[in-house]
Amino acid sequence: MMTKRETFSLMARIAVYYEQFELDQKKLDSWHEVLKECHLEELEAALQAHVSASVYPPKIADLLKKPLDARVVPDPEETASIAAGKEKPASREVIERELEKVRTILGIGRGES
């Protein structure tokens, strides 16, 4: 369990690594509310990993998410199902809806490039 002083220490390190990261009392209180049940050592390790991979300051979620090497490995039944091709593909309607979202984001109409 983290103390508010430890939360401040973590955030102060973020501010050292990232000049654009602003630290104030309201932000400290908010971060502490979310991080108080965490362990400082784990968050420090996550911060080190983040610093080596990103030029942007971390958000709370960046420090809490599991590293990529901590992926869940499917059990034998799930592996067999995947290998057998039993996974149901998305319907045509879902595909079209998602493509329309992408076109909207990119600002292009259907058939344009």
Distances (CA, A) of 38 to 56, 57, 64: 22, 19, 9
Distances (CA, A) of 74 to 30, 56, 83: 36, 33, 11
Q: Residue 69: its pLDDT value, please?
A: 53
Burial of 21 (0-12, 13-18, 19+ CB in 10 A): middle
Find the mean pLDDT for residues 50-61: 93
Find the mean pLDDT for residues 49-63: 93
41 or 81, which is more confident: 41
Element (H, E) at 92: helix 92-106
Per-residue pLDDT of 58-111, as tens digits, reads 999 999 976 555 556 677 877 787 787 766 778 899 899 999 999 898 988 766
Q: Grade residue 19 by pLDDT with cuts at 50, 70 and 90.
A: very high
What letter represents residue 40's amino acid? L
Q: Residue 89: its pLDDT value, please?
A: 73
Residue with tokens 């149901």: 88
Q: List the domains of the chain with CATH numbers.
A: 4-70 (1.10.8.200), 76-106 (no CATH)
Residue with tokens 């990103």: 54
Q: Residue 83: its pLDDT value, please?
A: 80
Residue with tokens 């050292």: 16
In whole angstroms, give the CA distance from residue 81 to residue 61. Answer: 32
